[in-house]
Amino acid sequence: MQVITRELDAKLLLTYYAVKQNYSVLLGKQKKIYENAELLPKGIFLFKGNSGGGGAKKYKPIVKKLGHAAVELDEEALFFDEDRYLQKRTDEKDYEILDQVYCWGKFQRDTLVKAYPQFKEKFHLTGHPRFDLLLKKFRSLYSDDVERIKKQHGDFILINTRFTSYNRKGGFGVGKDDMQKLYEHFIEMIKELSPKYPNLNIVIRPHPGENCDSYREELSNCKNVFVAHEGSVVKWILASKLVIHNGCTTGIETFLLDRPVISYMPFTSEEIDEDLPNEVSYKAFTISDLFSFIDSLEDGKMNHIEEQQQINERKTILSQHYEAMDENYAYEKIIHLLDKISLEGESSSDNSFLQNNPLRQRGPAELEFTEEQIITFFDKLNKIEKSENKLIVRRLAFNLFEIKPDHI
């Protein structure tokens, strides 16, 4: 994992069902796992794409040379600009190394097959466990958190932002570009929403890479506006009355969770527009459009026949980009593919290996996820499955756990 708040639940879901199939799983921050690759028993590395400073490109050949298998599910490949995606996030040398590549949907797979036809057999349609969590089967995972959030914030509008290229943790970016312009439009929009709907709270959930304090400073006079970034976005969406975004993946997540969603688009921009999240949302081009939608929602005057037609059209659009919809689970497809990989050498379930080869550790760089969190999540999955998945959770280091069946 790279961003724990965004990735942990999906990786725990995949882990739970993998352990049920007798896999042992090492789960943690990607850099920590990469740096200990030579100490680990032979296993399958699940890479999360070529992003940030995680070192995936550097470690793929190292992992392979050490005798591990390597597969990839790119966290950022649900929707993309084709040229930029191929240039920034794909590499022929990577596909020579990788045993399998898991694709969110047809658009990603078709793009890869067209660019790298020699690796066609390695590209598989799976979807992503992150979106499995949005399907009806798993929504009860968040019931307790949803109730707690509702008690804390009452009825609220959730605003998800994606302005990291301008609103950076180290300070605002230099130069007035379209992302800065959009950030400023959102600030003004929130300043108008706040007094217009005094009986609704407004919760801003910035992207993990953004500076949260900028919103607190800009909106300090808006008493019904709050900034929050705790835990998975799913529980915040389920607790909200409405979600507002612009070109954000959370717009797609909101649509799949059957919640009302608006893309606020005060201007269009070839530079920053992301079509897919906007296409599955109601589009508000002005503050007046925004108010009209919210008023209709509040008054219960939505045209449900017209709304259902729009939902069906949006599902058709999304189905070209996302594979595992309508109780069709990505984790099942991925585990089925993992089962086809054979490894020679020591088993990853060799209990004595990790005990006798202490892992190199790095100092804490962010909030920790804990054994209690993991076990609580698995207990909820046991209730959903109406069975007990008996497993062992062992902390190996900060943000690094071994999870395995209790009979191994």
The count of other CB atoms within 10 Å of the CB of residue 167 is 26
The secondary structure of residue 394, as a DSSP letter, is: E
Same domain as 349, residue 246: no
pLDDT digits (tens, 9 = 90+) for 245-297: 999 999 999 999 999 999 999 999 998 999 999 999 999 999 999 999 999 88
pLDDT digits (tens, 9 = 90+) for 313-324: 999 999 999 998
Residue 294 domain-assigned (yes or no): yes
* Residues contacting 368, CB < 8 A, separation 6+: 398, 399
What pLDDT shows up at residue 35?
Answer: 86
Same domain as 291, residue 209: yes
Q: Quick check: 101 and 129 in contact, CB under 8 A?
A: no
Same domain as 376, residue 396: yes
Same domain as 344, residue 312: no
Same domain as 287, residue 341: no
Domain end among 266, 285, 319: 319
Domain end among 251, 286, 319: 319
Same domain as 84, residue 197: no
Same domain as 160, residue 47: no
Residue 148 domain-assigned (yes or no): yes
What pLDDT shows up at residue 217?
Answer: 96
Q: Is the predicted pLDDT of residue 55 greater than 90, yes or no?
A: no
Same domain as 180, residue 34: no
Helix and strand counts by DSSP (H, E) for the chain: 18, 15
Q: Describe the strand order of the beta sheet including 69-73 as a list of residue ranges.
A: 44-47, 69-73, 100-103, 123-125
Domain end among 264, 292, 319: 319
Same domain as 153, residue 302: yes
Same domain as 258, residue 221: yes
Domain that holds residue 186: 142-319
Residue 399 domain-assigned (yes or no): yes
d(CA 59, CA 64): 8
Of 258, 246, 286, nearest in space to 139 by CA: 258
Residue 206 domain-assigned (yes or no): yes
Same domain as 102, residue 20: yes
Number of domains in the chain: 2
Q: Dihedral angle at the C-alpha atoms of 14, 48, 132, 400, nearest 10 degrees?
A: 40
Same domain as 255, residue 195: yes
Q: Is the predicted pLDDT of residue 357 greater than 80, yes or no?
A: no
Residue 137 domain-assigned (yes or no): no
Residue 136 domain-assigned (yes or no): no
Residue 253 domain-assigned (yes or no): yes
Residue 248 domain-assigned (yes or no): yes
